[in-house]
Structure 1
Amino acid sequence: MIRFAFPLFFFSFLIFSPLCSQAQESTVPKVIWKVNRIDLGTILEEQGFQTAEFEYTNTQDSLFFIKDVWLECGCTIVEFSRDSISLGESGKLKISFDPTSAAGFFSKLIVINGNLSGVTDSLFLEGISIPYPSDIKRAYPISQGALRFRLKKINMGEVFDNEPRIKYVEFFNQGEQLLDQEEFLALVPKYIQVSQVQPFVRPQERGLLMIRYDGKSRNDLGYFEDAVPVSWENIPGSEIRLELIANLFEYFPPVPRSNLNEVPQLFIAQKEIDLREISSRTLVRRTVTLVNKGRQILEIRKIQGNCECLKIEAPKDRLEPGESMELSLTLDPIGRKGIDQRNIYIFSNDPLNPVQLIVMKSRIE
């Protein structure tokens, strides 16, 4: 009988072990970190070491202290206290990063070992490091007044209405004046904010502008361009214009699998229209059928074409489940010649395909 005792015990252990494991996972961690990932943003190499602080709180009756910290590379330096903290007390761990050690995006791992059993936590320090170029004019070819930029236009990329998009833009001060953060002025609409990152940018130095684009405040959808005048009030004639481009989208949370058939669903019968050869002197008209194949009302938020030569007419902006409508498209090709493509973007409340594209192709004679 004894021979069977061990296998039975082992089998019981296998059954209950996952349950015990799940119970342990649901318990409150011994140490809670305020955040375990910090983004330093864009860093210029000449800015030197950048520092971030991670804050933690002891949730146990036992005294806690940090025994050791493992760093991924020599590009980071850690400072922390080995003093013990009691229940409910907080401590800080300071990490400094050397931007000369990286080019482009970086993510550095920091592993924390504490004195309490099971306390091994991972932290991450992230950002984008920009090395100093060997040829300034080649790296920053676009000249505007006293500043030089990498590109003529600043692409904010995809901007959703659930959170603002932030972008850092480099510039080189080729002028003779000190650029003071306190004197910086930007004449912006309510959905855009622009600020100078460094307190001062001296002549022949690089600086950063932080641009914040709030899609919710803009309250629109599609492609947009904005010209933003900025200047320094203490420097006469310092005004320049930042040209921003952005694609604005509505954010939809993930749809549970069980609800996939319940949401609005936009179906487009023909997503590519080939007009073949057409005359530049003749208007071309086509229609496309839109159908709501979902079980909730479909709302057409916006329809946007990529050319003023395209006229788009929709008889309504709401479709009941199963309902359809004809979208009217009129192309005026006057003044155009050769291969041509027009894009029509349809924005709707279909959470699975909120933006759909219709392409109209032609060869204009």
Structure 2
Amino acid sequence: MRRIYLGILSGLVSLFSLTGTAQVRFDHLHRELGSLIWHTPGTAVFTLSNEGDTTLVIRDVDPDCGCTAVDWPRTPIAPGQKAVIKAVFDAELLGHFEKQIAVYTDQSDKPYYLTLSGDVVVERKENMGDYPYHVGDLYLNADNVEFDDVRRGDQQVKTITIYNAGNKTFTPSLMHLPKYLTAQYEPANIRPGHTGRILLTLDSEQLRTFGLTQTSIYLSRFAGDRVGNENEIYVSATLLPEQTFTAEQLAIAPELHLDSTTVNMGAMNGKKRLKSEVVITNTGKSALEISALQVYNPGLSVSLSKRSLKPGESDKIKITVNANTHYFKGRRRVLLITNDPVRPKVVIDITVKK
């Protein structure tokens, strides 16, 4: 089987069909599944984009082994749209595995090759340092999930790993999932001393507005469990606006400049709040429009007197950290979205000593 590898640019792998004007792009050609427990299937998700100007059809997806089940959309993919190919490896044989999947489209007789790899083990020795958050006897690798740099049409997938340190089998379930999130549980039941995964998939088409969307979901520990800070998982999604510019527009475009993208606020030391400022300047040639100014952590507040800056004009972003910021999940960050074509999204990181 012939493998086709092309260069990686900005973390994305671009593959071009040999005929017509269709352009096919995969977010990844290879997925590493890590260590899988024997008889516990693992899932790899590959996102395909049709960046051409003709409709794309996936004619077939052919794994090189019956141990891998695949699923893909049978309907045509319109220009500018995306599709997800899912591959599930059954983990029935112990040892290292590397499986390939051939993806055939109507644009070329030659397939694109996707790869998933990992190891199947009888028992996995866990490093508890990898699970800093716990909900009773359940230990999690994260209690904060961030979907960054989302474009309309994306279906990003994030993984939460759970280690069951209790003496009873745990059936994972999430409460208060919004419409734009779906969850897949692998395996459906996590035995004592074993790990499982929750695959969270974001459907960007369901996000209402550009900028930051935030919510809290909750890990259910048992039937009838209640929501609370202990079992809360904080989720944020940053949807970027679709912007296209001509060469003439780029020549006179606005340009955002901050005097700092990191702010060290020091220690609270019994204070109710800490304050700081960041200077924002438009160093471009046309008006800079700030369409979003938001915070990731509810313990922060931010303000800006102007949302439009003329060329050469500056203003101050006023940042306040409240004493209760440590009680909230979510990183302390400030988000700006502007019409700067080079840097449409800028994040200011805030640090506070306890």
The counterpart of 1:298, out of the listed 289, 296, 300, is: 289
Q: How do 1:11-22 residues align onto structure 2 when only pairs under 5 Å count?
A: none
The counterpart of 1:147, out of the listed 135, 138, 152, is: 138
Matched, 1:348 2:338: yes
Instruction: Give the letter aligned to residue 36 of structure 2.
Output: L
If you compute each CA radius of gyration, which structure gives the higher value, 1 or 2? 1
Render the CA deviation track for 1:31-54: whole Å, top value 9, x for unaligned: xxxxx96969777232367799xx
CA distance in 1, matches of 2:161, 2:134: 13
Matched, 1:266 2:248: no
**TM-score computed with the length of structure 2 as normaliser:** 0.53
1:350 Cα offset (Å): 1.8
CA distance in 1, matches of 2:350, 2:144: 29
- Describe the shift of the 1:137–1:242 C-alpha distance in structure 2 as closer, same or farther (beyond 3 A): farther
CA distance in 2, matches of 1:271, 1:344: 12
Matched, 1:250 2:237: no
CA distance in 1, matches of 2:241, 2:120: 31
Q: How do 1:1-365 residues align onto structure 2 when only pairs under 5 Å count?
A: 25-26=18-19, 44-47=36-39, 100-102=94-96, 108-109=99-100, 121-126=111-116, 134-136=124-126, 138=128, 140=131, 142-149=133-140, 151-156=141-146, 158-162=148-152, 163-180=154-171, 184=173, 186-214=175-203, 217=207, 219=209, 221=211, 226=216, 228-233=218-223, 241-244=231-234, 246=236, 248-252=238-242, 259-268=249-258, 270-271=259-260, 288=279, 290-291=281-282, 293-295=284-286, 298-304=289-295, 312-319=302-309, 322=311, 324-327=313-316, 329=318, 345-356=335-346
CA distance in 2, matches of 1:154, 1:165: 15
Give the conservation status (yes or no) of the 8 Å contact 1:314–1:326: yes
Give the conservation status (yes or no) of the 8 Å contact 2:297–2:333: yes
Render the CA deviation track for 1:200-259: whole Å, top value 9, x for unaligned: 4444443222223456626464596735242443x8799971433546251546756565
Structure 2 residue matching 1:352: 3-state secondary structure: coil
1:176 Cα offset (Å): 4.7
1:353 Cα offset (Å): 0.7
Unaligned runs of 5+ in 1: 1-23, 30-35, 59-68, 80-93, 113-117, 335-341
- Describe the shift of the 1:253–1:198 C-alpha distance in structure 2 as closer, same or farther (beyond 3 A): farther
Instruction: Give the letter aligned to residue 166 of structure 1.
Output: V
- Describe the shift of the 1:267–1:261 C-alpha distance in structure 2 as closer, same or farther (beyond 3 A): farther
- Describe the shift of the 1:260–1:109 C-alpha distance in structure 2 as closer, same or farther (beyond 3 A): farther
**TM-score computed with the length of structure 1 as normaliser:** 0.52
Tell me the C-alpha RMSD between the 2 structures. Answer: 5.8
CA distance in 2, matches of 1:168, 1:266: 34
- Describe the shift of the 1:299–1:131 C-alpha distance in structure 2 as closer, same or farther (beyond 3 A): farther
- Describe the shift of the 1:133–1:246 C-alpha distance in structure 2 as closer, same or farther (beyond 3 A): farther
Instruction: Give the letter aligned to residue 193 of structure 1.
Output: T
Give the conservation status (yes or no) of the 8 Å contact 1:261–1:295: no
CA distance in 2, matches of 1:360, 1:26: 49
1:186 Cα offset (Å): 1.7
Structure 2 residue matching 1:243: 3-state secondary structure: strand
1:33 is matched with: none
Structure 1 residue matching 2:38: 3-state secondary structure: helix
Structure 2 residue matching 1:188: 3-state secondary structure: coil
- Fraction of identical pairs, as percent: 13
- Describe the shift of the 1:217–1:230 C-alpha distance in structure 2 as closer, same or farther (beyond 3 A): farther
Instruction: Give the letter aligned to residue 343 of structure 2.
Output: N
- Describe the shift of the 1:303–1:290 C-alpha distance in structure 2 as closer, same or farther (beyond 3 A): farther
Instruction: Give the letter aligned to residue 326 of structure 1.
Output: D
Instruction: Give the letter aligned to residue 346 of structure 1.
Output: L
Structure 2 residue matching 1:327: 3-state secondary structure: strand
Unaligned runs of 5+ in 2: 1-16, 23-27, 45-56, 69-86, 324-331
Give the conservation status (yes or no) of the 8 Å contact 2:182–2:200: yes
Structure 2 residue matching 1:260: 3-state secondary structure: helix
CA distance in 1, matches of 2:322, 2:88: 60
